Chains A and B, each alone.
Chain A
Amino acid sequence: MKFFPFRSDASHAFCSGVSQKLSDMDEHEWDALVSDDNFYNSYRWLRGLEHSLGATDVLSVHGSAGLVAACTLWEGDQSPGMFFLQDCMAGVRGPWQEGFLWLGGRRNTHNEIPCIQGRRRHQALAELGRCALEYAQQRGYAGFVMPYMPYQAAVEFADAIGGAVVLHSAQASLEVPDTGLAGMMASWRAHDRNQTKSEIAAFRRMGSRVEWGVPDELDDSVAADLITQNRSRYGGMQDREWVQGILAGQRKSGVSYFGAAAVSKRDEDMTALAIFYRFGATLHLRYFGANYSLDLNDYRYFVLCYYEPLNYAAANGLTKLRLSTSALRAKVNRGAKIEPQALVVKCADEQQICHSEAKRHNHRMLREYQDKFPGHLSRDWELVGSQQNPTN
């Protein structure tokens, strides 16, 4: 242990760097920067990806006492889908067909920059942005993006780095009442309440039941098979081995310690499963899988992904259920609120993104969501509305 020398107090500046793998960083130091909602940028989640998909570079900013901001890097997908820049930026002109550096975990649908709190937060974010741009330029990228950010976090990051905020997605979440599903249903209209009751009754009538367990107890190949069946039904490209590799990586990194699996069974047959992660006061839904060769009309998706987890969350002192970005209508009909998600973009050539066009795009998207989901939008949409809409 070396306690000398004490340096002068002038050494307050930040210094940034690039590491080739996450395991160069200390887990607790990293996680100290990760807030309750930012599970997919927590150390073990990212380390799981590293085990399954290989290491990526990591940007870090240090102050005199240690890490103040950091994030992992990747390149997005090169074919259409949720992580294809041209799809994310549809409706906003720019060089989106060029290569961009992506900040955050691979295929994350919720991103915030792990960063210190307090007085120097803005400065730490700015330094991370400066370092990301330098990294991008040195490697011939046209700029960098961080997608799927909660709107407020996106505005804060864009402010710090002089980037643009582009709304591109929305995420559903539920505030969990102390009394779980019963409390949630009490706040609904009779029609919605009856629909939920009849879905749960149908589930039971078909002889289905739910068992909660930990993902470590699941057979990865069975879980991967069900998850892949669901993904390929909705156009997912990954095969069973890919999903199995991801689950194996999670075991190795220890992130499955945070996991909770809801499994629906008929007799001893597993008919579907949903895998969640507990983090802070939030329960994050990540995977749903089902055996579609059993043609059951038993509402197992809704039972496993909405109804049961509300009771599970309430019983475990969790106050929020996060439900990803797809099938928003079905989620809204069952009490979810919709939160705006934005991408922060910084181009190496400032001329290439028109900030006022991005703002017009955001206002268009706000109106679209207001029309589609009136009464179901979270408070963050008001902030989108309060950003000045440039007229042309």
Chain B
Amino acid sequence: MSKNNAGQFNELATLYEDTAHWPFRKEIEIPSVLQAIGDVEGLSVLDFGCGTGMYSRWLKQRGAGRVVGYDPTKGMLNYARRRAEKESPGISFVTRLSPDLIGQFDLVLAVHVLQYASSGPELQDMCADMVGLLRPDGRLLTLPIHPSYDPRRSYYERYGLRLSADDLQKPYVDGGGVRIRLCKNGKQGSVFAAYWSAASLERALGQAGLRSLKWRELDAPECAALGQAPKELHAYLQKPHSIIIEGVRARDPQ
């Protein structure tokens, strides 16, 4: 599997961890993901592309059994290790997927990772890795860039996020480059990602052996209706930059 895009995260650990407190993640993404995951008591979970380990710590604190965080970027994993050993001991963080992890997990979570596959074969490999870690009937939950995100550069800026497609005229082309920038209080960082259409994502996940695919829009689970969400979140909720895809690993290998 290519990890060409992973190295660009080495300097971004603290800024990235900070995003967990930004409204679009804190009020929308994180509660949506946790709601979609449901009860994790006793489950074995692998957090694929775990970054600073924010979700790994949440899952451990919510009663998950075995929790493994995987990320090829050393800078991210260092943050994850240092913080988890103080706040959620017992998580193992790894920089490579060893064969003994294959088929071991009830749940694989991969938040904001699929967009770092920069070609079709890389996307396929990444999906195969994610699904391969699941035991039969195990669940995958992943959040790519939303296939119909708003391509206007300024759209997400008020949330500390800027997405700029390399080709503004054709933002929805498979494998097209998207620069993602994060900015808050004068700190900023940017990474290169790729856009994948719904059809390509479904195909890659399906070929990897995932069944019963479901798409779930992000919402603000604390608020009964969009109208009740804080006003400043409305624009994000109308066009979230990410979406949840969920599925289960088929029993019979393809």
Q: Which residues of A line the B interface, CB within 8 A? A: 1-7, 9, 11, 26, 28-29, 31-36, 42, 63-68, 116-121, 257-258, 278-280
Q: Which of A29, A35, A64 has a CB less than 8 Å from the CB of B188?
A: A64
B17 on the A face (CB < 8 A): yes
- Are A64 and B157 neighbours in the complex by a CB distance under 8 Å? no
**27 A-B pairs whose Cβ atoms sit less than 8 Å apart in the complex:** A1-B160, A2-B186, A3-B157, A3-B159, A3-B160, A4-B157, A5-B183, A7-B183, A28-B14, A29-B14, A31-B79, A31-B83, A32-B13, A32-B79, A35-B78, A42-B82, A64-B187, A65-B187, A65-B189, A66-B187, A67-B14, A117-B78, A118-B11, A118-B74, A120-B10, A258-B85, A280-B81
Q: Which of A1, A36, A68, A279 has a CB less than 8 Å from the CB of B185?
A: A1
Q: In the bound complex, how far is the Cα of B190 from the Cα of A7, in angstroms?
A: 11
Given known contacts A3-B160, A65-B187, is B7 in contact with A31 (CB within 8 Å)?
Answer: no
Q: Which residues of B line the A interface, CB within 8 A? A: 7, 10-15, 17, 21-23, 52, 73-75, 78-79, 81-83, 85-86, 157-160, 162, 181-190
Chain B residues near A6: list those with CB within 8 A. Answer: 157, 162, 181, 183, 188
Nearest to A3 among chain B residues (CB) is B160
Chain A residues near B79: list those with CB within 8 A. Answer: 28, 31-32
Given known contacts A1-B22, A33-B78, is B17 in contact with A65 (CB within 8 Å)?
Answer: no
Q: In the bound complex, how far is the Cα of B77 from the Cα of A34, in angstroms?
A: 11
- Are B10 and A118 neighbours in the complex by a CB distance under 8 Å? yes
Q: In the bound complex, how far is the Cα of B160 from the Cα of A175, in angstroms?
A: 46
Nearest chain B CB to A58's CB is how many angstroms away? 16
Q: In the bound complex, how far is the Cα of B11 from the Cα of A231, in angstroms?
A: 42
Given known contacts A28-B82, A116-B10, is B74 in contact with A2 (CB within 8 Å)?
Answer: no
Nearest chain B CB to A35's CB is how many angstroms away? 6
- Are B15 and A66 neighbours in the complex by a CB distance under 8 Å? yes
- Are A2 and B83 neighbours in the complex by a CB distance under 8 Å? no
Q: In the bound complex, how far is the Cα of B86 from the Cα of A258, in angstroms?
A: 8
Q: In the bound complex, how far is the Cα of B197 from the Cα of A337, in angstroms?
A: 54
Nearest chain B CB to A263's CB is how many angstroms away? 23
Chain A residues near B17: list those with CB within 8 A. Answer: 28
Other than A32-B13, A117-B73, give 14 A-B pairs with Cβ distance below 8 A: A1-B22, A3-B22, A5-B183, A6-B162, A6-B181, A6-B183, A6-B188, A29-B14, A65-B15, A66-B15, A66-B187, A116-B75, A118-B73, A118-B74
Nearest to A6 among chain B residues (CB) is B183
Nearest to A26 among chain B residues (CB) is B14
Q: In the bound complex, how far is the Cα of B21 from the Cα of A297, in angstroms?
A: 58
7 nearest A-B pairs in the assembled complex, by CB-CB distance: A118-B10, A65-B189, A32-B79, A31-B82, A3-B160, A117-B74, A29-B14
Q: In the bound complex, how far is the Cα of B73 from the Cα of A118, in angstroms?
A: 8
Chain A residues near B15: list those with CB within 8 A. Answer: 65-66
Given known contacts A28-B83, A32-B78, A117-B74, is B185 in contact with A2 (CB within 8 Å)?
Answer: yes
Chain B residues near A279: list those with CB within 8 A. Answer: 85
Q: Which of A4, A63, A68, A117 has a CB less than 8 Å from the CB of B183?
A: A4
Chain A residues near B52: list those with CB within 8 A. Answer: 32
Q: Which of B81, B157, B160 has a CB less than 8 Å from the CB of A36?
A: B81
Q: In the bound complex, how far is the Cα of B52 from the Cα of A1, in angstroms?
A: 21
- Are A3 and B184 neighbours in the complex by a CB distance under 8 Å? yes
Q: In the bound complex, how far is the Cα of B85 from the Cα of A257, in angstroms?
A: 10
In this complex, which of A9, A64, A257 has the most chain B Cβ atoms within 10 angstroms of its Cβ?
Answer: A64
Q: In the bound complex, how far is the Cα of B15 from the Cα of A279, in angstroms?
A: 24
Chain B residues near A34: list those with CB within 8 A. Answer: 78, 82
Q: Which of A3, A7, A278 has a CB less than 8 Å from the CB of B158?
A: A3
Nearest to B160 among chain A residues (CB) is A3
Nearest chain B CB to A88's CB is how many angstroms away? 29
Nearest to A29 among chain B residues (CB) is B14
Chain A residues near B11: list those with CB within 8 A. Answer: 63, 65-66, 68, 116, 118, 120
Nearest chain B CB to A116's CB is how many angstroms away? 5
Nearest to B162 among chain A residues (CB) is A6
Given known contacts A28-B14, A280-B85, is B7 in contact with A118 (CB within 8 Å)?
Answer: yes
Given known contacts A4-B157, A6-B157, is B185 in contact with A117 (CB within 8 Å)?
Answer: no
Nearest chain B CB to A168's CB is how many angstroms away? 28
Q: In the bound complex, how far is the Cα of B189 from the Cα of A6, in angstroms?
A: 10
Nearest to B181 among chain A residues (CB) is A6
- Are A32 and B14 neighbours in the complex by a CB distance under 8 Å? yes
Q: In the bound complex, how far is the Cα of B14 from the Cα of A35, in angstroms?
A: 15
In this complex, which of B7, B85, B162 has the most chain A Cβ atoms within 10 angstroms of its Cβ?
Answer: B85
Nearest chain A CB to B5's CB is how many angstroms away? 12
